[in-house]
Structure 1
Amino acid sequence: MRVGTYKGHVIAVLLRDEHCPPHVHVAGKDWDARFRFSFLDGDVELWDVDPERRRPSGAVLEGIRQTLRQRHYLARARRIWWEKLQTVCLDNHSWDWEADEVVPGLVIRRGVYVIASARHDVAGRRTILNLVRAPGSVEIEL
């Protein structure tokens, strides 16, 4: 599904056989690129370009990245991903209560809680984490 465009390049979330981490696809004439995004913050990063030998200029890739970082495009990408795939890709991760951040993997130590479930609130533009045996849930404003 189309998220937006940058200089004629369509930025889209593909829905067939999609997988974590959350990302969009951009097809050029001779190349395809993927950009990762998050349900935790506004970061967007280039994931890969295929084939690498046909990689477009850094300015084109950065322009696409900056376009996707715009609040309305990122919100649309998140909405499409959540509504169609029903995941924010935080399964099998943990939350460090004191550091206020996700810890990769299932970590067992004081102040770190396993993420039991996570969901995206499209209307509220937030991610909600339900944690195992934690003092409460976590709401991350986007």
Structure 2
Amino acid sequence: MKVCIHNGLLIAVLTRNEHCPPHVHVGANEWEARFEFSFWHNGVRLLDVLPVQNKPTVAVLENLRQTIKQPSHLRRAREIWWRNLQTVCLINQLWDTEASEVASAKNRQSSASIIKYARFDAGAYKTVLQLEGQSNFMEIRL
């Protein structure tokens, strides 16, 4: 599903056979890139470009990343992902309550808890988490 168009390139969330992490696809005849986005922060990062030998310039990829990162485009990508896939790709990951971020299992801190429940509230534009051992829900306003 279309998120937006940038310089003639379609930026879209595919809705068939998709998988975590949340991402959009963009490409030309010669290449396709995937950019990861999140339901707990507003960053966007390049996942990969295939085939590597046809990779566009760094400037093209950075312009695409900045376009996806625009609030209206990021919101649309999140809404499409959630509506079609019903996951924010956070369940069973660790949440560090002191740092307010997803934590690495390798560097688990005492302030990290397993995310037992996660959903996206598109209307309020927030992510709702429930951490293991806690009865209250935590909200991340995007």
Structure 1 counterpart SS, 2:46: strand
Matches within 5 A, 1:63-142: 63-105=63-105, 110-134=110-134, 136-142=136-142
Give the Å deviation of 1:104: 3.5
CA distance in 2, matches of 1:3, 1:56: 20
Superposed displacement of residue 112, structure 1? 2.3
Q: What's the Cα RMSD here?
A: 1.8
Which residue number in structure 2 is paired with residue 15 of structure 1?
15
Q: Residues 30-67 of structure 1: CA distance to partner in whole angstroms, max 9, x if unpaired?
A: 00000000101110011100001001111111111110
| Percent of aligned pairs with the same amino acid | 48
Q: Which runs of 5+ in 1 are unaligned?
A: none
1:107/1:114 contact within 8 Å kept? no
Q: How many residues align?
A: 142
The runs of 4+ residues in structure 1 deviating greater than 4 Å are: 105-109
TM-score by length of 2: 0.93
Alignment deviations for residues 48-100 of structure 1 (CA, whole Å, 9 cap, x no partner): 00001001111111111110000000000000000100000012212122222
Normalised by the size of structure 1, how large is the TM-score? 0.93
Q: In 1, Cα distance between the equivalents of 2:108 and 2:58?
A: 41
* Closer, same or farther: CA 32–108 of 1 in aligned 2, 3 Å: closer
Unpaired runs of 5+ residues, structure 2, are: none
